[in-house]
Amino acid sequence: MKDSRPSRVSLLVGWLLLLWTWPMVVHAADPLTRLDPERYGPGTIMVAIEQLAGYTPSQAVEPVRALLGHEDVALVRTAAWFLRRAGRGDEGVASAQAVLQDPQASEKSRLSAATAIGVLRSAAGATVAAQALTGDESALVRRAAVLALGRLHRAGWTVPLIAAAGVDEDERVRVACVRALGMLPDTTAEQLFELLVSAEPAAARREAAWALGQGRFAAVAGLAGQLTRALQSDPDCRVRAAAAWALGQQGDPSTRPALEAAAAGSSGCRLAAQAATVALGRLE
pLDDT at residue 27, rounded to an integer: 44
Residue-range domain boundaries for the chain:
40-187, 189-284
Whether residue 203 contacts residue 215, with contact meaning beta carbons closer than 8 Å, is answered with: no
- Determine the pLDDT at residue 266: 81
* Residue 32 near residue 75, CB atoms below 8 Å: no
pLDDT of residue 12: 54
**CA-based radius of gyration for the chain:** 27
Distance CA 47, CA 282 (A): 44
Do 145 and 129 form a contact (C-beta atoms < 8 A)? yes
Per-residue pLDDT at 267: 74
Rounded distance between C-alpha atoms, residue 183 and residue 207, angstroms? 11
3-class state of residue 18 by DSSP? helix
Fold designation for 189-284? Leucine-rich Repeat Variant (1.25.10)
Angle 125-135/158-167 helices, nearest 10 degrees? 20
40-187 with 189-284: one CATH topology? yes
pLDDT of residue 9: 55
Position 23 scores a pLDDT of 43
The rounded distance, in Å, linking the Cα atoms of 38 and 15 is: 31
Are 212 and 226 spatial neighbours (Cβ–Cβ below 8 Å)? yes
CA 279/CA 260 separation, integer angstroms:
9
Q: What is the pLDDT along the chain (284 residues), one digit of tens a residue?
A: 455 555 655 555 554 554 454 344 434 468 999 999 999 999 999 999 999 998 889 999 999 999 999 999 999 999 999 999 999 999 999 999 999 999 999 999 999 999 999 999 999 999 999 999 999 999 999 999 999 999 999 999 999 999 999 999 999 999 999 999 999 999 999 999 999 999 999 999 999 999 999 999 999 999 999 999 999 999 999 999 999 999 999 999 999 999 999 999 987 899 999 999 999 999 87
Question: What CATH number matches the domain at 40-187, 2.60.40.10, 3.30.70.920, 1.25.10.10, 3.90.850.10?
Answer: 1.25.10.10
Check residue 222 and give left, alpha or beta (phi > 0: left; psi -120 to 50: alpha).
left
Closest CA to 118 of 162, 175, 183: 183
CB contact at 8 A, 268 and 236: no
Helix 189-198 to helix 202-212 angle (10° resolution) is 150
